[in-house]
């Protein structure tokens, strides 16, 4: 038994054809047929039934093929790990993400750094549209953004992998008279003083809001999340942001700041996820970061909602 034989039976099971499987593996039909026959003889059972309609797994063969697929996946994991160990000793990766998701990104990178101490990692917090532009210019390897699901349609070479759906909410000091009830009416929201994160999506929401309800008072705009937090903690204003941006926000978790829904106010869904290339394959390290982040985020989300 060898790896090629395992690959052959998995491929034949997918396309139900010796000819197609042979073409995909650059081998003759007779060659792949003889290889599978030799494996059947070695195992002492028939893996496929061959007929004019095609090649189909036997009941015993289905179990063998499933085991072969598991084995091939494990072999690929070994190859990937070997790649990491040999090629990432002095590798580097640049990642950008929107505010609020940095704790999960940092935990992911910390874990990866523990496995590969010499890996050079750069993490930057930016707004979604800035991240998209940096990705377009090949300045970063991966970017976590908030976006309407179809917003990137027509952007040549750029794809969006959504992870979870969200919406815009208000964040306010717990001592504010508005903090109770979990909701704020748009007409009441209009009277407040805002501090806004400099993000195109926040700008879009505020533009839509002012067109419907009139101008609002914006104290200042900044891309410094700490400045916004300080102003909120002092109770001088409120801010608008995407709900999951506050998922692991310490002042919200400990109750110093409160999240309010804007109601009634219909919103088009926003999706959080990864921006990536449509044509180029992700590097193994980018795949690793995205996979680990998604696992970390799902665990946090489960804990938050349980």
Q: Give 3-79's CATH code, choosing from 1.25.40.10, 1.10.10.10, 3.40.50.11610, 3.40.50.2300.
A: 1.10.10.10
CA dihedral 28, 33, 34, 37 (to 10 degrees): 170
Q: Is 21 helix (H, G, I), strand (E, B) or coil?
A: helix
- Report the predicted TM-score, pTM, of the whole model to 2 decimal places: 0.58
**Alpha carbons 86 and 91: distance in angstroms, whole number:** 10
Within the chain, which residue ranges are assigned CATH 1.10.10.10?
A: 3-79
Q: What angle do CA 52, 54, 59 make, to 5 degrees?
A: 120
**Helix and strand element counts for the chain (H, E):** 11, 13
**What is the pLDDT at residue 44?**
93
C-alpha 270/C-alpha 181 separation (Å) is 24
CATH 3.40.190.10 fits 92-164+271-305, yes or no: yes
CATH architecture of 168-268: 3-Layer(aba) Sandwich (3.40)
Contact call for residues 278 and 159 (beta carbons, < 8 A): yes
Specify the pLDDT at position 172: 94
Residue 217 to residue 193: CA distance in whole angstroms? 5
Range(s) within the chain of domains with CATH label 3.40.190.10: 92-164+271-305, 168-268
Question: Could you read off the pLDDT tens digit of each residue along the chain, which spans 306 residues?
Answer: 899 999 999 999 988 998 888 888 889 989 999 999 999 999 999 999 988 888 999 999 999 999 999 999 889 888 877 766 665 555 678 889 887 777 788 888 888 888 777 778 888 988 888 888 898 888 988 888 888 766 666 665 677 888 888 888 999 999 999 998 899 999 999 999 999 988 777 888 899 899 999 999 999 998 888 889 999 999 888 999 888 778 778 899 899 999 999 999 888 888 888 887 766 666 677 777 888 888 777 666 655 555
């Amino acid at each position: 038994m060898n790896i090629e034989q395992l690959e052959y039976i998995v491929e034949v099971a997918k396309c139900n054809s010796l000819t197609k499987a042979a073409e995909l593996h650059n081998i003759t039909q007779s060659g792949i047929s003889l290889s599978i026959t030799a494996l059947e003889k070695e195992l002492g059972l028939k893996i496929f039934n061959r007929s004019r309609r095609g090649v189909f797994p036997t009941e015993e063969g289905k179990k063998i093929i499933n085991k072969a697929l598991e084995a091939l996946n494990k072999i690929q994991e070994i190859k990937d790990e070997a790649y990491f160990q040999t090629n990432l000793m002095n590798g580097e990766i640049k990642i950008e993400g929107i505010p609020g998701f940095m704790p999960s990104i940092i935990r992911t990178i910390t874990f990866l750094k523990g496995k590969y101490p010499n890996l050079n990692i750069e993490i930057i917090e930016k707004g979604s549209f800035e991240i998209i532009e940096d990705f377009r210019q090949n300045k970063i390897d991966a970017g976590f953004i908030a976006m309407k699901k179809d917003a990137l349609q027509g952007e040549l070479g750029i794809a969006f992998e959504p992870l979870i759906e969200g919406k815009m909410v208000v964040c306010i000091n717990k001592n504010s008279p508005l903090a109770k009830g979990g909701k704020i009416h748009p007409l009441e929201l209009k009277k407040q003083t805002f501090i806004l994160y400099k993000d195109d999506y926040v700008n879009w929401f505020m533009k839509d809001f002012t067109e419907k309800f009139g101008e609002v008072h914006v104290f200042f705009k900044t891309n410094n999340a700490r400045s916004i937090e300080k102003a909120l903690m002092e109770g001088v204003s409120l801010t608008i942001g995407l709900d999951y941006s506050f998922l692991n926000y310490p002042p919200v978790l400990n109750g110093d700041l409160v999240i309010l829904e804007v109601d009634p106010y219909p919103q088009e869904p926003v999706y959080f996820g990864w921006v990536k290339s449509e044509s180029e394959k992700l590097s193994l390290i980018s795949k690793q970061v995205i996979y680990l982040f998604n696992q970390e985020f799902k665990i946090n989300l489960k804990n938050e909602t349980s």
